[in-house]
Chain A
Amino acid sequence: MKPEKGTISGLQMALMLYPAVIATAFLTLPTITAQYAGNDLWLTPILSGISGALTLFLAVRLHRLYPGQTVIEYSVKIIGTVPGKIVGFAYFIFLLYLTGVIARQYAEFVKSAIMFKTPLLVILSSILLLAAIAVRGGVELIARAATILTPVFVIPSFVLLLLLPDLNVQHLFPVLEKGWIPVLKGSLAPNAYTSEFFLMTFFLPLLSNPEKGAKWAAVSIAADLFSGLYASLLVLFLLGPDTADKVYPVLTAFRYISLANFFENLEALLVAMWVIGNFLKLSIFLYAATTSLVQTLELKDYRMVVYPLAVWCVLFSLWDYPNLPSLDNHIKYVSPFELLAFFNAIPLLLLLAASARQVFKGSPNLPAKGKNAVE
């Protein structure tokens, strides 16, 4: 059952998933990874390729077993109606709440960087209203917005190259002074962020060229890793041991740009970039949350639930955290486990269960074409 008639191309999916993951990671991850890994923080985005590869494998493999279905639909097929619905509902709650966390992260940054007096509620609700309008417009609208806006989101990050004269490569050394353990600890958060690529489960069924889905998702994951590496190295070379102590190291980097005493105060550019990136991120997460609810409850029309869900997101983001440190602690200590549980562990269990069904044939729930799809 599809709530959606639109189709998107593989490239469009890649352009949607890229900001959906990097938009928040770009700004906050260097601090978290530097707190664990110190000057080896640049290794953590590379290590997040582990989760990237696993996520890609899980999403694509499951989709190949159950073509044209999202995780919500095939979980019912794999583990039965009642447990499947519970899983679907869990995804819905988690995605909705995650959208709230992202919105809060977005709003906290805008408030602490540039709009000091604007109430949090206004920043939150305006972006979520925009995201809700985009979701109501359907997946094609989000995809086209991503086609236009993702380049606009990416290009300002190259302005950071103006910092080249201020960079000190020496901050890189000594490499791996304390061994791999701190680096591995630090790489947990980037891995968790990368696992958000599992959201491709909601877009793979909508592809007009499904055979290219895996390829484009891989391109998107690779672009994400490179962006993480770029941001990490840049802030490390600029801030050195100070990286871990900055709430938003990339913001500091943007503020530090000065070209001929004239091209300065560029943080507005970062905020613009952040608004664009998070509009896409929130639209995609809200879309995923909506789809989960609609498919779990098998609703006919998804449009009517979008606005109420957006209101829930606002409430979630305000209820969850009394202040920025508690949000940061959550992102540092809790989020990695939540994300990995929902985007890697549950899909892995589903895939194992599906494979088990393959072995013990005669399962009534497994669709016939699924068997052929397994090479």
Chain B
Amino acid sequence: MFAIGKITAPIALLLLLSGCWDRVELNDLSLITAIAFDKPQQNNSVEVTAQIIIPKVKGGGDGGTGGGGGGQAKQTVTRTASGSDIADAISKLQMVIPRKIFWGQCKVFIFGEEIAREGIREHMDFLLRHPQPRERGYVFVSRGRGADVLELFPPIERSSSEVIRELAQLGIGLKVTLEQLSIRLKGESGAQALPLVHILPKSKSSKPFETIAYLSGTAVFKDGKMIGELSSRETRGVLWVRNEIDEYTVTYENDPAKGKVSIHPLHAKVKLVPRIEDGTWKMDIKVRTAGDLVQNGTPLNPMDPQVLKKMEEGMKKDIQARIRDALKLLQRDLNADILDFANAYHRKYPKIWAEAKDEWETKFPEIEATVDVEARINRPGMVNSPGGISQETGTEK
């Protein structure tokens, strides 16, 4: 009796080990690196394009839609399917992909401009509800069709989706993950911002489709519907206020007659201080930033503390102007609070906010914002006097 148990128990356990229902082999999977959502030509409501890694690259040219071929082997292929919603489209996508779709590596989600203007909320629901798409994936809006971005074959990175992901991580533009977007969609301000993707015109010697997509500007959403966009310069103003400034260079005309100065800010700290005085809503935007001089086109000597002070003054004015431009556009033209002023008020004045939040639409454009910048230039770089000028003629004070 006991002996039988000793034999049967391990056998039963072995059966359990091998009979795992969720066992998946890597070569049964199609790794998706990016997914784009577009408005299809037909009546279906969404068209899904997936960028898939080609597992084995042999020579050039084989596999892949789109032209080109030869030379450097393509490492990705795209497939498109449309359906009445994303889940439906994905299941149809599976019909043209011989291996099981695997989303674990999918870190880029692109909404085509057209579908973004129609609204992204129902699509977001799929991305947040389905267990496979990662909350850390980045969300973009593409100028034109999102599928076009995925059809490119970048010369440097493995796939065009990797290019825009790397670009987003550099911190030069807006960077919004799926989870951050989900939080913003629930936020008090009712406005969201996503980075805009453009396709870089290919250089003369490259083959067709051998180019990249890059980030420039911002798509502005209200309640999940795209309502407008910001230029690259205005986006930088927004980045300042959202405290997302990272690798970044400020170039400004210190004194219009004398030339330009470039500062590479090393860090910036931004604080939003809301105030309500006699019924007027005010917002102090306090920016503290410091950087090093990287180019000095003026004949001024930055080693002179007096001169440096003037340069700092110029930097301050330039940053103020950038922020004001962005604010003007957001408050007057778009009336979209992507800077999250709403939450700043909510946190500081919870009681007043509770009454005023329904009127936020009319309140936001009326907010008097003051921009207070404290800019410092810490180091002159590797040379002290202006480069390329002789000692006598140079170094004006």
- Interface residues of A, Cβ cutoff 8 Å to B: 112-119, 122, 126, 170, 173-174, 177, 238-242, 245, 252, 255-256, 258, 261, 264-265
B residues 153-206 near A (Cβ < 8 Å) are 169, 177, 179, 182-183, 186-187
Of B16-24, B231-239, B324-332, the one with at least 4 CB within 8 A of chain A: B16-24
> Measured between alpha carbons, how far is A189 from B205 in the docked complex, in Å?
66
**B249 an interface residue at 8 Å Cβ cutoff?**
no
> Measured between alpha carbons, how far is A252 from B131 in the docked complex, in Å?
10
**Partner of B131 from A116, A126, A245 at Cβ < 8 Å:** A116
17 chain-A/chain-B pairs, Cβ below 8 angstroms: A114-B22, A115-B22, A116-B22, A117-B22, A118-B21, A118-B22, A119-B21, A170-B347, A177-B354, A238-B179, A239-B179, A239-B183, A241-B187, A242-B182, A242-B183, A242-B186, A265-B134
Chain B residue total in the interface (Cβ 8 A)? 22
> Measured between alpha carbons, how far is A126 from B183 in the docked complex, in Å?
38
**B343 an interface residue at 8 Å Cβ cutoff?**
yes
Query: Which residue of chain B lies nearest to A111 when distances are taken between CB atoms in the complex?
Result: B22
User: Across the interface, do B21 and A117 meet the contact criterion of CB distance under 8 Å?
Assistant: yes
**Partner of A113 from B16, B131, B169 at Cβ < 8 Å:** B131
Query: Which residue of chain B lies nearest to A258 when distances are taken between CB atoms in the complex?
Result: B136
User: Across the interface, do A173 and B22 meet the contact criterion of CB distance under 8 Å?
Assistant: no
Instruction: List, in ascending order, chain A residues with CB within 8 A of B136's CB.
Output: 255-256, 258, 264
**B79 an interface residue at 8 Å Cβ cutoff?**
no
User: Across the interface, do B179 and A122 meet the contact criterion of CB distance under 8 Å?
Assistant: no
User: Across the interface, do A255 and B22 meet the contact criterion of CB distance under 8 Å?
Assistant: no
> Measured between alpha carbons, how far is A241 from B180 in the docked complex, in Å?
11
Known: A242-B182, A256-B135, A256-B179. A170 touches B22 (CB 8 A): no
> Measured between alpha carbons, how far is A265 from B186 in the docked complex, in Å?
25
User: Across the interface, do B21 and A115 meet the contact criterion of CB distance under 8 Å?
Assistant: yes
B residues 25-72 near A (Cβ < 8 Å) are none
12 additional contacts, CB 8 Å, given A118-B20, A174-B348, A255-B134? Answer: A112-B131, A113-B131, A118-B22, A122-B16, A126-B16, A170-B343, A177-B350, A238-B179, A241-B183, A241-B186, A245-B186, A256-B135
Instruction: List, in ascending order, chain A residues with CB within 8 A of B350's CB.
Output: 174, 177
Q: Which interface residue of B169, B177, B350 has the most chain A CB atoms within 10 A?
A: B350
**B269 an interface residue at 8 Å Cβ cutoff?**
no
**B104 an interface residue at 8 Å Cβ cutoff?**
yes
Instruction: List, in ascending order, chain B residues with CB within 8 A of A119's CB.
Output: 21
> Measured between alpha carbons, how far is A220 from B346 in the docked complex, in Å?
38
> Measured between alpha carbons, how far is A241 from B182 in the docked complex, in Å?
9
> Measured between alpha carbons, how far is A261 from B157 in the docked complex, in Å?
15
> Measured between alpha carbons, how far is A114 from B347 in the docked complex, in Å?
38
User: Across the interface, do A173 and B347 meet the contact criterion of CB distance under 8 Å?
Assistant: yes
> Measured between alpha carbons, how far is A242 from B354 in the docked complex, in Å?
19
5 tightest CB-CB pairs across the interface, nearest first? A173-B347, A174-B350, A118-B21, A117-B21, A177-B350
Instruction: List, in ascending order, chain B residues with CB within 8 A of A238's CB.
Output: 179
Instruction: List, in ascending order, chain A residues with CB within 8 A of B187's CB.
Output: 241
Question: A4 CB to closest chain B CB, in angstroms?
Answer: 23
Instruction: List, in ascending order, chain B residues with CB within 8 A of A118's CB.
Output: 20-22
Query: Which residue of chain A lies nearest to B132 when distances are taken between CB atoms in the complex?
Result: A116
> Measured between alpha carbons, how far is A147 from B159 in the docked complex, in Å?
48
Known: A113-B131, A241-B187, A258-B136. A252 touches B21 (CB 8 A): no
**Partner of A122 from B21, B134, B354 at Cβ < 8 Å:** B21
User: Across the interface, do A242 and B179 meet the contact criterion of CB distance under 8 Å?
Assistant: yes
User: Across the interface, do A252 and B179 meet the contact criterion of CB distance under 8 Å?
Assistant: yes
Chain B positions 341 through 354: 1 when the CB is less than 8 Å from some CB of chain A, otherwise 0 = 00100111010001
> Measured between alpha carbons, how far is A350 from B134 in the docked complex, in Å?
51
Instruction: List, in ascending order, chain B residues with CB within 8 A of A252's CB.
Output: 135, 179
Instruction: List, in ascending order, chain B residues with CB within 8 A of A258's CB.
Output: 136
User: Across the interface, do B104 and A265 meet the contact criterion of CB distance under 8 Å?
Assistant: yes
Query: Which residue of chain B lies nearest to A113 when distances are taken between CB atoms in the complex?
Result: B131
> Measured between alpha carbons, how far is A117 from B20 in the docked complex, in Å?
9
> Measured between alpha carbons, how far is A261 from B22 in the docked complex, in Å?
26
> Measured between alpha carbons, how far is A11 from B289 in the docked complex, in Å?
53
Instruction: List, in ascending order, chain B residues with CB within 8 A of A177's CB.
Output: 350, 354
> Measured between alpha carbons, how far is A363 from B186 in the docked complex, in Å?
63
Instruction: List, in ascending order, chain A residues with CB within 8 A of B179's CB.
Output: 238-239, 242, 252, 256
> Measured between alpha carbons, how far is A256 from B178 in the docked complex, in Å?
10
> Measured between alpha carbons, how far is A255 from B107 in the docked complex, in Å?
12
> Measured between alpha carbons, how far is A116 from B348 in the docked complex, in Å?
44
User: Across the interface, do B135 and A240 meet the contact criterion of CB distance under 8 Å?
Assistant: no
Query: Which residue of chain A lies nearest to B169 when distances are taken between CB atoms in the complex?
Result: A261
Q: Which interface residue of B20, B183, B350, B354 has the most chain A CB atoms within 10 A?
A: B183
Instruction: List, in ascending order, chain A residues with CB within 8 A of B169's CB.
Output: 261
B residues 118-137 near A (Cβ < 8 Å) are 131, 134-136
Instruction: List, in ascending order, chain A residues with CB within 8 A of B20's CB.
Output: 118
> Measured between alpha carbons, how far is A17 from B104 in the docked complex, in Å?
36
Question: B343 CB to closest chain A CB, in angstroms?
Answer: 7
**Partner of B347 from A117, A174, A241 at Cβ < 8 Å:** A174
Query: Which residue of chain A lies nearest to B178 when distances are taken between CB atoms in the complex?
Result: A256
Instruction: List, in ascending order, chain A residues with CB within 8 A of B21's CB.
Output: 115, 117-119, 122
Instruction: List, in ascending order, chain B residues with CB within 8 A of A264's CB.
Output: 136
> Measured between alpha carbons, how far is A298 from B107 in the docked complex, in Å?
60
Question: A365 CB to closest chain B CB, in angstroms?
Answer: 44
Question: A235 CB to closest chain B CB, in angstroms?
Answer: 11
Query: Which residue of chain A lies nearest to B347 when distances are taken between CB atoms in the complex?
Result: A173
> Measured between alpha carbons, how far is A114 from B20 in the docked complex, in Å?
12
Instruction: List, in ascending order, chain A residues with CB within 8 A of B177's CB.
Output: 256
Query: Which residue of chain A lies nearest to B180 when distances are taken between CB atoms in the complex?
Result: A166
Question: A16 CB to closest chain B CB, in angstroms?
Answer: 26
Instruction: List, in ascending order, chain A residues with CB within 8 A of B346's CB.
Output: 174
Question: B15 CB to closest chain A CB, in angstroms?
Answer: 11
B residues 281-338 near A (Cβ < 8 Å) are none
Question: B349 CB to closest chain A CB, in angstroms?
Answer: 8
Query: Which residue of chain A lies nearest to B23 when distances are taken between CB atoms in the complex?
Result: A117
Question: B91 CB to closest chain A CB, in angstroms?
Answer: 15
> Measured between alpha carbons, how far is A335 from B16 in the docked complex, in Å?
33
Q: Which interface residue of A116, A118, A242 has the most chain B CB atoms within 10 A?
A: A242
Chain B positions 233 through 257: 1 when the CB is less than 8 Å from some CB of chain A, otherwise 0 = 0000000000000000000000000
**Partner of A255 from B135, B182, B186 at Cβ < 8 Å:** B135
Query: Which residue of chain B lies nearest to A119 when distances are taken between CB atoms in the complex?
Result: B21
> Measured between alpha carbons, how far is A112 from B130 in the docked complex, in Å?
10
User: Across the interface, do A240 and B183 meet the contact criterion of CB distance under 8 Å?
Assistant: yes
Instruction: List, in ascending order, chain B residues with CB within 8 A of A173's CB.
Output: 347
> Measured between alpha carbons, how far is A279 from B307 in the docked complex, in Å?
70
Instruction: List, in ascending order, chain B residues with CB within 8 A of A116's CB.
Output: 22, 131
Instruction: List, in ascending order, chain B residues with CB within 8 A of A113's CB.
Output: 131
> Measured between alpha carbons, how far is A213 from B348 in the docked complex, in Å?
47
Instruction: List, in ascending order, chain B residues with CB within 8 A of A255's CB.
Output: 134-136
Question: B375 CB to closest chain A CB, in angstroms?
Answer: 25
Query: Which residue of chain A lies nearest to B182 when distances are taken between CB atoms in the complex?
Result: A242
Question: B29 CB to closest chain A CB, in angstroms?
Answer: 14
